[in-house]
């Protein structure tokens, strides 16, 4: 997998410096094929490598409990920048910066940006090093380019699955966004959190495309879920157990709001929110997800009952209108 920098030399040096004897390697789904190769590199340092086969959806999903249960004294977490302020197990973050060139994909995006002059620029941590170059391409095409730096993430222009603060901070000053990176996931997040046209420049597929129609479909689905949840009598508020998704106080606040609106409400703890887990509770009419908001938005069609974000629940209890929700963004609580 030559498209990414796995920083092998740095990893060997860090393991030696820390004197780690048992190392857990954690990779997101797209990078998991590299697990066995990276394990061999760790093994050469004299440490015992263990590859986590569990799903990993971000730096919020750090394998802390897994590492503690098997006596690991170092986690190597690939593909994300640091998110948690404190880790119970020493952790090295390898951002796996992409080595693929983005210029061709950006050039293909220019005709799709033709009707807009002010462009916001966003990307994931894999491509933050390309933004200056991408900005130059856009400037040469006569665009005004703005890159947000809201301070909540490590790099200007960076977005992650649940945090689009860099995009939201400049949304009022731009007409459209260009997202540089692979896939629709993060670009959809930009579109849904800013309500602005969003074009993807995908360097892996060397093409450009819009996610606006897909974002509109998701908004229609979210409206339908909220309307269905308004009829619900019994709610369960889901409290995530992953290190970066545990929001008990917020869950308690949502529970109180629902109960004040006459809803019977329970608290459920859950590590992985999936249809199979929720199907075990037939007396619950609707759920509020206080963990990763993308589960509610991206997997909605898989659930038999409404699974709302915290912000959407404010519409159910009458604290927000649908129009205010769309302006505020589906990710903010």
Query: Residue ranges per domain, the chain?
Result: 8-94, 103-210, 215-328
User: Would you state the pLDDT for residue 89?
Assistant: 93
What gap in Å lies between CA 93 and CA 243, rounded to an integer?
A: 15
Cβ neighbours of residue 29 closer than 8 Å, sequence gap 6 or more: 55, 56
215-328 topology per CATH: Rossmann fold (3.40.50)
Averaged over 6-25, what is the pLDDT?
95
CATH superfamily to which 8-94 belongs: Diphthamide synthesis DPH1/DPH2 domain 1 (3.40.50.11840)
User: Would you state the pLDDT for residue 132?
Assistant: 96
What gap in Å lies between CA 288 and CA 269, rounded to an integer?
A: 12
Collapsed DSSP state (helix, strand, coil) of residue 51? strand
- With beta carbons less than 8 A apart as the criterion, state whether 163 and 108 touch: no
User: Would you state the pLDDT for residue 298?
Assistant: 77
Instruction: Report the mean per-residue pLDDT for the chain.
Output: 93
Higher pLDDT, 198 or 57: 198
Averaged over 245-272, what is the pLDDT?
95
The reply to whether 103-210 shares the fold of 8-94 is yes
Question: First and final CA of the chain: distance in angstroms?
Answer: 38
Q: Which residue has the tokens 């750090």?
A: 62
User: Would you state the pLDDT for residue 1?
Assistant: 61
Higher pLDDT, 301 or 189: 189
79 dihedral zone (left: phi>0; alpha: psi -120 to 50; beta): left
CATH superfamily to which 103-210 belongs: Diphthamide synthesis DPH1/DPH2 domain 2 (3.40.50.11850)
* Residue 113 pLDDT greater than 70, yes or no: yes
Q: What is the pTM of this model?
A: 0.90
**Cα torsion at 83, 87, 91, 94 (round to 10°)?**
0
Averaged over 292-315, what is the pLDDT?
88
**What confidence tier does 84 reach under pLDDT thresholds 50, 70, 90?**
confident
Averaged over 194-208, what is the pLDDT?
96
* Residue 331 pLDDT greater than 70, yes or no: no
* Residue 333 pLDDT greater than 70, yes or no: no
- In 84-166, DSSP assigns E strands to 91-94, 118-123, 144-146
């Amino acid at each position: 997998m030559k498209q990414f920098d796995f920083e092998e030399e740095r990893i060997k040096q860090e393991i030696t410096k820390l004197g780690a004897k048992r190392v857990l390697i954690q990779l997101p789904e797209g990078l998991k094929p590299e697990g066995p190769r990276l394990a061999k590199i760790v093994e050469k340092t004299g440490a015992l490598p263990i590859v986590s086969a569990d799903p990993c959806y971000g730096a919020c999903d750090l394998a802390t409990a897994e590492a503690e249960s098997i006596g690991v004294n170092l986690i190597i977490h690939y593909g994300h920048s640091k998110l948690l302020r404190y880790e119970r197990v020493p952790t090295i973050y390898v951002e796996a910066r992409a080595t693929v060139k983005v210029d061709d994909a950006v050039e293909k995006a220019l005709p799709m940006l033709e009707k807009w002059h002010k462009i916001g620029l966003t990307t994931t941590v894999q491509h933050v090093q390309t933004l200056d170059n991408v900005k130059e391409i856009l400037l040469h095409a006569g665009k005004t380019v703005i890159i947000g730096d809201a301070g909540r993430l490590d790099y200007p222009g960076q977005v992650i699955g649940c945090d689009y603060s860099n995009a939201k901070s400049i949304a009022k000053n731009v007409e459209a966004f260009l997202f540089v990176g692979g896939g629709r996931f993060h670009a959809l997040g930009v579109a849904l959190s800013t309500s602005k046209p969003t074009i993807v420049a995908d360097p892996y597929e060397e093409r450009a495309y819009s996610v606006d129609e897909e974002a509109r479909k998701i908004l229609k689905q979210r409206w339908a879920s909220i309307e269905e949840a308004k009829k619900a009598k019994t709610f369960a508020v889901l409290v995530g157990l992953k290190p970066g998704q545990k929001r008990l106080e917020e869950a308690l606040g949502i529970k109180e709001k629902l109960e004040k609106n006459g809803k019977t409400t329970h608290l459920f703890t859950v590590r992985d929110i999936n249809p199979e887990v929720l199907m075990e509770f037939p007396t619950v009419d609707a759920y509020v997800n206080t963990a990763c908001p993308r589960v509610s938005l991206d997997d909605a069609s898989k659930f038999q009952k409404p699974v709302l974000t915290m912000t959407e629940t404010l519409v159910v209890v009458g604290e927000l209108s649908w129009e205010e929700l769309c302006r505020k963004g589906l990710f903010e609580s």
